A and B are shown apart, each in its own frame.
Chain A
């Protein structure tokens, strides 16, 4: 077994630990921080069920973004859903036997890579061409797009141009899951692809990728509009009441 395999195995363990610990830490932090006032952007649902529906529309359809800007919506939505398909397709490298539905989406997942690349390219083009978006971009915003695009392009090259030994790759990852390090093919494309994925996993909890958990905790979207019917008091605010009475 090559030393490359060992290095990559360690990298993946490290990246997974950082990703999981970092995101869990953030989720706990968000969950623990109170929202002392009712601030849903109205019109807002008046029932909990309504909130679930509102959130589902945001998560699945990007409904606010749709209202806002059709270009960002189309590129953004395309990228995210292609990414989802691609990720699901990749489950085949972690499960043995391959789950039926994963096999089923395999052909879609393969083409989704193109949609993902087009979406990312569109978003990047806007970041460069539109004066307002260029102004608000910092280097990290460009780097993030470069990273994702690098992952998409290197992955597609392996799918369509220069195949790697996929059986060995699968053996490597299924091995990792039981703490057993197997050999990884050492062709350049695969190593680049995996290195970029590792990098993405590590920056996730320290970057704007936190919009993923953030969306679910956004009080302007997830609160029920019922302040007159139900008194809403945060623990720290209740203390003010207690001091007085």
Chain B
């Protein structure tokens, strides 16, 4: 007999998280954390979250404009087994993301959803309510590799279909869900057409170039596109990704190494071209956002380019100031995956990029390296105003968002 008084402990309903776990259960601690930090009164915009568009690929391919390709895609989706979704090239790395099942939400989200509301709308709402987010900007996942597809047409066919599907089926269902539409950047004229066609659609707050591609962002072919986007006033984002087949990563054998380098590398290359070719001078009102490369690469590149530029300024004649000044004033950055382990280095990074005005919170939910809003609010070296700016007010300013609080925590 036990001689002490005791209570009986209650078993938690989720003993072990798996791919069927409800987002709200998995993120229950995030919601508690958000409540404790008083986020109910903070406008929070998550500038980079994802959905897995391939789950609804059968819906998306119905929006392919070309009737022959559409028929091909529909037949393929209906009858082929054991092959990836129609038209997608993907990357080898995709099969390692969940670390052998250790991070189930990265493998899949097979939780139950109610009929009558699109599944991706429900999952996005659940994430918003759990993280304490008012506005969530969603991006696709395997389509991030589409810029490497050997057929540039495929990017146009699928990019356009995806944009139409997203606007009609997802964004129209909830005005808290936004996107920056996919631009088929390998086909400049089609990218222009995409801006014209979808640029003013409800929920479209900007334009996205997926960064894994071998195209020179400074090529004359793109000037018309940049001019158009500048005139519209909506930002242009470069969403990073990795590409394990890139020759520069050919010797990297661990996914973690490839992922750590790949996500930064593509944007390092594009930013270098962007700045040294004077795009910010040519289009001074064009707002560029650099997404999902973390932040540590920014001070590195600022220092490298500044030092080299001063020795060889004749090679970058458009520049009237240091490369770092363009990077600080004309470019915005999303936080995730924020390198937090060395707080001193992080403080320095945030100062160098002028985080108070240029930094935008992003979760990257549901990916394995997602960040919570508390990453920002818990930083000891930022003022409350800076934290509020980063978590939502900077995004509100550059996207023209209504800052009415929409969540209930």
Binding partners A and B: no
Q: CB within 8 Å of A: which residues of B?
A: none
Q: CB within 8 Å of B: which residues of A?
A: none
